[in-house]
Structure 1
Amino acid sequence: MDTKDFDARSYTDLLKGYIETQDERALYGAEQISKSFIKNNILPEEIVNLHIQALLEISPELHEEIHKSMNFLLEAMISYGLAHQEYQLLREKQLELKSEIHVAARMQKMLLKSEIPKTDELDIGVISVPANQMNGDYHHFVKGKDGSISIAIADIIGKGIPAALSMSMIKYAMDSFPESEMSTDAILASLNRVVERNVDPSMFITMFYAQYKPKSGKLYYSSAGHEPGFFYCSKEKRFKEIEAKGLVLGVNVDTTYSQYEQHIDKGDMIILLTDGVTECRKGQEFIERDEVLDVIKSYIHLPSQEIVNHVYRHFERLQNFQLRDDFTLVIIKKVV
């Protein structure tokens, strides 16, 4: 006797006992046999058919209408069983994909990790939070032997695992450059060629690249279509937008970029960000860029890392703790 025959005999005995006595011990037996059905992968329509056969054995004179209704239930369970199997397969694939994305996100975080350089002149704060598991934003720091600090902030137009792979490629391309010896416009031109040749044509990368040179006290920078940052002048106690033009990376292999410069005095700040900061929403409406500056100004007396943390928490609450885009904010304050 195979398992199905055993389950059928047990089911019939349990059903007969319950019909005759209404004893709840029979219901406990039904729970146990249900576990056997699951263990042996018995389909819903097979269980209904088992019930029909058991009823016919117990009551051969079963009323015709009840018999027809059970046949109707059997047909319904056949369709249900097929749909349930498809659902289970889709759920398993979804869980598998979710697991793969989780692993990819951990790898991305490890591969793109960039330590904030220690320097007496600059106080640097950074926060970068993905809206989903994969982060389409990227920031990168390099401290040169001459004390210079290089800063990159980028945003890829395109999300998910392809974006993560593209950012990893950009990171390792940047690591290969002698950055302290290259101008910011030359670095963007080199990265542009890498992106144009190796990244899917449907994806583009915006980037702002800057170098602070302690000997001159100046910030040299170039932009590849990136969200404009801000310069805070401590003497004038006001913000102004950093103006820098340039085409996004990956459009044209022959694109050239311009280098700009800004002298930085003690107390001055450079604010770099991605559009996930400036395009936060109140309900269905985007905030004004000035609102970002107002929030930064309210915490301007704090160290840079505390400022970016407070700004993030402010806009996280504003969006009911549901980011709609990756949020990256870098604040560089000159303290000497």
Structure 2
Amino acid sequence: MSRSLLQKQYDELMRSYLQSGAEDHLYSAQQLGKWLLRHHVAPEDVVDLHLETLERHVELPESVRISFQLLMEIMIEYGIAYREHLFLRNKQQQLESEIELAVAMQHSLLPASIPHPAALDVGVISVPSKKMSGDYYNVFPLEGQLLGIAIADIVGKGIPAALSMSMIKYAMDGLAACAREPAEMLRQLNGVVVRNIDPSMFITMAYGAYDIKTHTFRYAVAGHEPGFWYRAADNQLRDLPGSGLALGLKRDTTYEECTLRLNQGDLIILLTDGVTERKIGKHYLGREELHAYLMELISLPCQEMVDGLYRKLLNLSNHELPDDHTMIAIRRKI
């Protein structure tokens, strides 16, 4: 709408309202106000338009005309603040669009499906505390009836975490030759992380290769939250052994490789610290307490177990999720 057309419409609205004062004119005024907002017309321009139009219909006393000068000065300052608000709102909308794009990109980095070999029962859950997660996981087939299992926690949130996740994912794809050697995989990934992320950031990770023929799990740990190992023979849940420096802290770090052999019914659990670092009432969840909750669910199929633990912890923590919650459970069935 041109300036002349706007003046004409406002003139007609003013004349009709001064003559009848009908309620339907107020509705027309509201619609015009919405149009002015959509087209970012400054408040001082609206005041100027109103004064020009009013002078064409009524004779204004000098005191009223002078008062409009005061109002105009006020609206100029208001208009500056209004334009700043519009600028910030547009930037916020742009940022939200970029975040949505980053969230979609991040989802594409996670596996669309998880393999379920006949000899194994597999369960996975990953719930972000906010829109963007700092957790990464993958369960993928390797040659020779091996299953690669990865779980990582990127220190930090938001877009930097998403970028770091993509780096881990594509670095692992490029290091396929190391996929059967967990300690070497972490050593190579550490080199990638050291070279490519800010020194203030680091990544904790556990990576292993499960041999479906021998039911042997070889794995290495880089500063990651200890997992669990359940032995069906004695109905005991233990912490998974193994430790190492987080990725990105020190160049040329080497990692220890651990080996477990699972018997029928045995179970391994990998998780991020979002599972363990929960405030329950006035205290924080301890490993022994988490042991007890896991043992209540240990006989369930793996997916039901990880889902059930998530729901239980969420209820106990008053439905607050302070950190991303990711968990992988794998049980030998036969």
Normalising by structure 1, report the TM-score. 0.87
Amino acid aligned to 1:279: E
Q: Measure how far apart 1:273 and its partner are.
A: 0.4
Q: Measure how far apart 1:228 and its partner are.
A: 0.7
Q: Which residue of 1 aligns with 2:191?
A: 193
Q: Which residue of 2 aligns with 1:80?
A: 78
Change in Cα spacing, 1:281 to 1:75, as seen in structure 2 (3 Å) is farther
Which residue, 313, 316, 330 being the options, matches 2:314?
316
**Deviation string, structure 1 residues 32-63 (Cα, Å, up to 9, x no partner):** 54455456643211112232344445443527
**Deviation string, structure 1 residues 137-157 (Cα, Å, up to 9, x no partner):** 111223333323221111111
CA contact (8 A) 1:112 1:168 kept: no
Amino acid aligned to 1:326: D
Amino acid aligned to 1:143: P
Q: Measure how far apart 1:278 and its partner are.
A: 0.6
Partners of 1:25 and 1:248 lie apart in 2 by 68
Change in Cα spacing, 1:242 to 1:110, as seen in structure 2 (3 Å) is same
Q: Which residue of 1 aligns with 2:48?
A: 49
Amino acid aligned to 1:161: I
CA contact (8 A) 2:237 2:295 kept: no
Q: Measure how far apart 1:308 and its partner are.
A: 0.9
Partners of 2:87 and 2:282 lie apart in 1 by 37
Partners of 1:4 and 1:115 lie apart in 2 by 58
Change in Cα spacing, 1:98 to 1:31, as seen in structure 2 (3 Å) is closer
- Gaps of at least 5 residues in structure 2 are none
Q: Measure how far apart 1:191 and its partner are.
A: 1.4
Change in Cα spacing, 1:165 to 1:284, as seen in structure 2 (3 Å) is farther
Superposed, which structure 2 residues align to 1:7-26 within 5 Å?
7-12=6-11, 14-26=13-25
CA contact (8 A) 2:190 2:248 kept: yes
Change in Cα spacing, 1:328 to 1:33, as seen in structure 2 (3 Å) is closer
Change in Cα spacing, 1:265 to 1:32, as seen in structure 2 (3 Å) is closer
Q: Measure how far apart 1:134 and its partner are.
A: 2.2
Change in Cα spacing, 1:37 to 1:103, as seen in structure 2 (3 Å) is closer
**Deviation string, structure 1 residues 43-93 (Cα, Å, up to 9, x no partner):** 2111122323444454435272x4454433333322222222222222222
- Give the stretch that moved more between structures: 224-233 or 111-120: 111-120
**Deviation string, structure 1 residues 119-143 (Cα, Å, up to 9, x no partner):** 2332111111222222211112233
Q: Which residue of 2 aligns with 1:297?
A: 295
Amino acid aligned to 2:43: P
Amino acid aligned to 1:295: Y
Q: Measure how far apart 1:12 and its partner are.
A: 4.5
Q: Which residue of 2 aligns with 1:264?
A: 262
Please state if 1:101 is matched with 2:83.
no
CA contact (8 A) 1:316 1:323 kept: yes
Q: Which residue of 2 aligns with 1:62?
A: 61
Change in Cα spacing, 1:112 to 1:6, as seen in structure 2 (3 Å) is closer
* Count of aligned residue pairs for this structure pair: 333
- The runs of at least 4 consecutive aligned structure 1 residues that moved more than 6 Å come to none
Q: Secondary structure at the match of 1:191?
A: helix
Amino acid aligned to 1:108: Q
Partners of 1:36 and 1:128 lie apart in 2 by 45
CA contact (8 A) 1:7 1:33 kept: no
Change in Cα spacing, 1:327 to 1:78, as seen in structure 2 (3 Å) is same
Please state if 1:91 is matched with 2:89.
yes
CA contact (8 A) 1:56 1:62 kept: no
Q: Which residue of 1 aligns with 2:210?
A: 212
Percentage of matched positions with identical amino acids: 42
Amino acid aligned to 1:324: P
Q: Measure how far apart 1:28 and its partner are.
A: 4.5
Q: Measure how far apart 1:283 and its partner are.
A: 5.6
Amino acid aligned to 2:45: E
Partners of 2:215 and 2:131 lie apart in 1 by 38
CA contact (8 A) 2:180 2:209 kept: no
Partners of 1:284 and 1:77 lie apart in 2 by 52
Q: Which residue of 2 aligns with 1:325?
A: 323
Change in Cα spacing, 1:123 to 1:79, as seen in structure 2 (3 Å) is same
Amino acid aligned to 1:62: P
Change in Cα spacing, 1:112 to 1:20, as seen in structure 2 (3 Å) is closer
Q: Measure how far apart 1:321 and its partner are.
A: 4.1
CA contact (8 A) 2:128 2:325 kept: yes
Q: Secondary structure at the match of 1:223?
A: strand
Amino acid aligned to 1:22: G
Normalising by structure 2, report the TM-score. 0.88
CA contact (8 A) 1:55 1:62 kept: no
Q: Measure how far apart 1:253 and its partner are.
A: 1.8
CA contact (8 A) 2:127 2:324 kept: yes
Partners of 1:28 and 1:122 lie apart in 2 by 67
Please state if 1:230 is matched with 2:228.
yes
Change in Cα spacing, 1:200 to 1:218, as seen in structure 2 (3 Å) is same
Partners of 1:3 and 1:326 lie apart in 2 by 52
Change in Cα spacing, 1:305 to 1:179, as seen in structure 2 (3 Å) is farther
